[in-house]
Amino acid sequence: MALFSRRPKDSADQTNAEPEVTGVEDANSSAEEPATGAATDAPEAGAEAAAAGTDASGDEVSTDIGEPTASVGISMSSFGGFGATKAASPAEQDAAAAQPQAAPRPSAPETAPPPNESIPGLRDNVLVRAALAQVSAPATATEVLNVVRQMLQGHLYLRVKGDARALIAEGKPLPLAMATIGEKNYALAYSSGAALQESVRADGDTATSAMGQPVLGVIRHVLSGTYAGVIIDHASGQARVTLPRELLEKVTAQMDPKLALKTLLAAERTDETGAAVVAALGEAPLWVAIGTTADDRPGVAEGRSEDGSRYLEVYSHPLEVAAVGRGDKSAKITTAQLAKAIQGDQGLSGIVVDPAGPWIRVTRDELAPLLTVED
């Protein structure tokens, strides 16, 4: 369990001291649910705007992550996706020329940022923190969904009124910090030690501690109570979002309860990563992206490597399809359907998993253990 505290202001030279965060990291504890208790913190300045919607303007961000199609036919044509550009018709080219041109979408990172401790001893959730850093004012729906999909791995921190270690030792409930906006209560969670420090600095509450919990435990805790949602990094200015309860319910209804693929893709890559991903593909729920080909036929998205090799796009969650930003629909696919699709197209070099990043390409040879799977 990771704990932090701030020195009491017992001298003049400590009055303007920075909050001190100390403790031992244990975010991967076997406990799946965070301990619950009466939430006691009032929201600090700015939390109302965040909790009222999901952006600085107070406008609500849609919780729609796209309705998945019921099934996918493995005989569909494929269209250029990750690393490829679909050819536009002359009419589309004329229409595009008449519109302001958006900045090109940056390439998705293959791997997660390196591990980081913004406060020594407290390991940041670097993917969530990076996603929050990209949030604009006001936040867009895509930016909010990007934060949510990056949450599906690793840990988050929760603040506790009092000394969490002592409360646990005494068998007492842990009163978790929350923001109360009107009649709605929002749980507060943090992506990093720096975000925790900003929260302490904002409210000046020295009698608090924090604990790191697996993100799935945090989400389940929110949904098991009466919270209206969760605010991530509420004291971090623009780099914060509010995730409504309805969105969390939709996300958890379709996610892998083990979060196996997301966890593997977020971790440091080793020689064993490819084989571990293949094993997870045999058990985890999978989706493909459905769009249209250049001649307006339905197709399954495929990616291209720099040498032109073709890779079928496979996703660990419908959120991942939405995050690519092409407007594709997600369709669930079984392991047997995936195997049949690859076997039926010898031109495919393999698959690319979660193209919005972190992503991984898996070759036909590496997929061999799955290619014999049948319905």
Residues 286-296: what's their mean pLDDT? 87
pLDDT at residue 272 greater than cutoff 90: yes
Q: Are 186 and 231 in contact (CB under 8 A)?
A: yes
- Using alpha carbons, select from 366, 123, 111 the residue that is nearest to residue 264: 111
Among the listed ranges 69-83, 242-256, 343-357, which one has the minimum average pLDDT value? 69-83
Provide the pLDDT confidence category of residue 65 given band limits of 50, 70 and 90: low
Write the pLDDT tens digit of every residue in 184-238.
999 999 999 999 999 999 988 878 888 899 999 999 999 999 999 999 999 999 9
Write the pLDDT tens digit of every residue in 93-133.
343 343 333 333 446 899 999 999 999 999 999 999 999 99
Q: In the prediction, which pLDDT does 23 show?
A: 36
Q: What is the mean pLDDT of the chain?
A: 77
Write the pLDDT tens digit of every residue in 141-178.
999 999 999 999 999 999 988 888 888 889 888 888 88
